[in-house]
């Protein structure tokens, strides 16, 4: 069975590039999102997110009539759901957006359709989604009751792209495709092979869900090792950056780089999904999350110390310049960003004393407006006493190391002995 049309549910950092990649292959793509403003921009060929090459590709697909966006569900042959999966009540997974997406598309489903959950989710979420669809459409059969004879195919295919390289990696990266049945996986694989040049490996939906959580937990644990090393080296008066550089000369050692914490919707969130479902067994994963979640407190303590040192030698309040808000370099994505968390906390603690440099945003987040200033790098440096580098944007790496300032360099970009 051919896929004459695809509905991309959720047009954010994953959904919009995915929609564009399929549309570039000539597939008719309907983008569905609750954000009317974003929908209007997309239909004008404009993006509401920063991703290299995306706006040009979007404009071409819109002009060719291969992609359009809407706020109202429409029939399609396949539905790909890429909506947020945050946590709530501490670190419990919140599938509210997935449920809302499933129930919204249920009325337009027809026999033979495929529904794929792309959102990173706790194990069992795909089956829950199938249950919500079945509640809405008692006239259709689903894999949990009808197996291979089901009217609707259900699968899970987690995204695994690097922001800033989305268009390339959506095509080149391998994909793990987990079906509720073998037939579901096969049908989903046929869909992804329309656009994906990497391998598409079929498995069951629970293994596919756990694969994505495992990938991000692996990275989180390794970042936690680097962050813990930075704390130890600070205590022992050792340059952690030099230490890692030397240790990595061992042929079987590859220590990552420390930073102010871990952000983004994936690495900072996904390990908690495993912890929530296996709290007694996930001891290393929990410890890594606690180390990385605690790193911003260490950075804040360094700033407080610098403020106290300034106060001992000056009769005016210290001006603090924070460089970077995004969760990683060269993007505008602020989700779960430790840099944003640190800057926000500083604006609350030192109102009127904080300037922010973030070349990838046009205005400060609402909760910082009126408390801090968004400035160019040169203006922030000229008036600052304390400089806190939080994100290693290329623009910042190209700058000479500031002089005559107290520098707290969490990324090892500017100083000979960064903290």
Alpha-carbon gap, residue 109 to 137, rounded angstroms: 8
Alpha-carbon gap, residue 75 to 372, rounded angstroms: 47
Q: Exposed (0-12), middle (13-18) or buried (19+): which is 114, by Cβ within 10 Å?
A: buried
Alpha-carbon gap, residue 336 to 163, rounded angstroms: 14
3-state secondary structure of 218: helix
Catalytic (active site) residue 362:
no
Alpha-carbon gap, residue 347 to 321, rounded angstroms: 11
The sheet carrying 372-374 orders its strands as: 372-374, 354-357, 320-323, 386-389, 406-409
CA proximity to 391, closest of 312, 316, 338: 338
Of the residues 7, 157, 205, 266, only one is catalytic, namely 266
Of the residues 41, 212, 295, 302, only one is catalytic, namely 212
Alpha-carbon gap, residue 105 to 6, rounded angstroms: 12
Residues paired with residue 202 on neighbouring β-strands, in sequence order: 177
CA 104 vs CA 10, 101, 145, 198, 335: distances in Å: 12, 5, 22, 31, 25
Alpha-carbon gap, residue 100 to 8, rounded angstroms: 14
Catalytic (active site) residue 371:
no
CA 301 vs CA 304, 323, 342: distances in Å: 5, 17, 11
Distance of CA 153 to the CA centre of its chain: 27
CB 99 within 8 A of CB 26: no
Q: Exposed (0-12), middle (13-18) or buried (19+): which is 70, by Cβ within 10 Å?
A: middle
Positions annotated as catalytic residues are 212, 266
């Amino acid at each position: 069975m051919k896929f004459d049309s695809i509905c991309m549910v959720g047009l954010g950092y994953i959904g919009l590039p995915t929609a564009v990649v399929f549309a570039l292959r000539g597939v008719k793509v309907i983008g569905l999102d609750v954000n009317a403003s974003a929908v209007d921009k997309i239909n004008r060929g404009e993006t509401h997110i920063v991703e290299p090459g995306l706006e040009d590709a979007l404009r071409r697909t819109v002009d060719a009539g291969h992609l359009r966006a809407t706020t109202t569900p429409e029939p399609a042959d396949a539905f790909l759901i890429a909506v947020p999966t945050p946590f709530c009540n501490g670190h419990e997974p919140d599938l509210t957006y997935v449920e809302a997406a499933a129930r919204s598309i249920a009325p337009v489903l027809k026999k033979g359709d495929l529904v794929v959950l792309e959102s990173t989710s706790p194990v069992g979420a795909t089956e829950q989604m199938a249950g919500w669809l079945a509640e809405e459409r008692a006239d259709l059969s689903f894999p949990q009751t009808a197996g291979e004879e089901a009217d609707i195919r259900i699968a899970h295919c987690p995204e695994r792209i690097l922001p800033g390289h989305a268009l390339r990696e959506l095509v080149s990266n391998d994909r793990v495709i987990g079906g509720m049945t073998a037939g579901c996986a096969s049908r989903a694989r046929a869909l992804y092979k329309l656009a994906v040049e990497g391998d598409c490996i079929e498995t069951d939906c629970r293994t596919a869900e756990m694969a994505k959580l495992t990938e991000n937990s692996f990275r989180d644990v390794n970042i936690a090792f680097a962050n813990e090393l930075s704390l130890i080296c600070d205590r022992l008066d050792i340059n952690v950056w030099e230490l890692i550089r030397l240790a990595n000369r061992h042929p079987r050692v590859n220590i990552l780089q420390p930073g102010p914490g871990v952000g983004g919707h994936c690495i900072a969130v996904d390990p908690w999904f495993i912890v929530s479902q296996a709290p007694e067994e996930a001891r290393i994963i929990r410890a890594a999350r606690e180390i990385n979640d605690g790193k911003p407190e260490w950075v804040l303590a360094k700033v407080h110390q610098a403020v106290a040192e300034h106060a001992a030698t000056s009769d005016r309040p210290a001006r603090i310049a924070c460089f970077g808000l995004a969760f990683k370099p060269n993007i505008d994505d602020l989700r779960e960003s430790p840099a944003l968390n640190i800057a926000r906390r500083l604006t609350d603690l030192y109102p009127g004393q904080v300037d922010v440099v973030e070349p990838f945003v046009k205005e400060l987040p609402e909760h910082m407006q009126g408390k801090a200033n968004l400035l160019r790098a040169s203006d922030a440096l000229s008036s600052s006493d304390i400089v806190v580098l939080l994100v290693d944007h290329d623009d910042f790496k190209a700058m000479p190391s500031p002089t005559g300032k107290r520098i707290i360099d969490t990324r090892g970009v500017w100083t000979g002995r960064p903290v």
